[in-house]
């Protein structure tokens, strides 16, 4: 989070935890030391609200359907899937059209600087439609990829 707030100074950052998380006190305590305008929202709030109001959507492992949803609802937005620590299932969006997969900190920093400087160019989608028919098919793909 520190990299984001350092590179995108003046930006408002929303952290939208997964609904299963419940209490966000530990996340708020952890982020209290990070400088910047960071808000941790209630996990039960719909992600769609924050996807719509955001310029950039960043997902962290474990993968969720938020990035997939964002790619369908707002394909023009910058959508980044981070896997800086090579987490289990963290590469689920590695070859997913419309979502940029990043697994190196230097690459993440470069992208944040491009975003900050309004020089980021989103890679064009390789197809006009998703290769998945919906969320269930995406989840099947994510879990099947690592569980054989």
**How many structural domains compose the chain?**
1
- Which pLDDT score is estimated for 146? 63
Q: What is the pTM of this model?
A: 0.82
Residues 6+ apart with CB under 8 A from 60: 82
Strands 78-82 and 37-40: unpaired
pLDDT band at 148 (very low <50, low <70, confident <90, very high): very low
Chain-centroid distance of CA 72 in Å reads: 14
- Those residues whose C-beta lies under 8 Å from the C-beta of residue 86, and which sit 6 or more positions away, are 103
Domain ranges, residue 119: 2-146
Do 14 and 41 touch, CB atoms closer than 8 A? Answer: yes
Q: DSSP string of 77-143?
A: SEEEEE-TT--TTTTTTTT-TTSEEE--HHHHHHHHHHHHTT---PPPPSSSS-SSSSHHHHHHHHH
Residues 42-77 have pLDDT tens digits of 999 999 999 999 999 999 998 889 999 999 999 999
């Amino acid at each position: 989070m520190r990299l984001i707030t350092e590179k995108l100074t003046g930006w408002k950052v929303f952290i939208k935890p997964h609904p299963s998380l419940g209490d966000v006190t530990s996340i708020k305590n952890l982020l209290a030391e990070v400088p910047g305008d960071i808000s941790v929202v209630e996990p039960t709030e719909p992600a769609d609200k924050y996807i719509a109001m955001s310029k950039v959507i960043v997902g962290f492992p474990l993968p969720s359907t938020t990035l997939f949803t964002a790619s369908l609802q707002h394909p023009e937005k910058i959508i980044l899937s981070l896997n800086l620590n090579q987490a289990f299932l963290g590469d689920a969006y590695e070859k997913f059209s419309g979502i940029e997969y990043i697994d190196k900190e230097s690459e993440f920093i470069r992208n944040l600087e491009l975003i900050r400087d309004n020089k980021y160019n989103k890679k064009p989608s390789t197809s006009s439609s998703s290769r998945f028919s919906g969320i269930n098919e995406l989840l099947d793909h994510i879990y099947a990829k690592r569980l054989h």
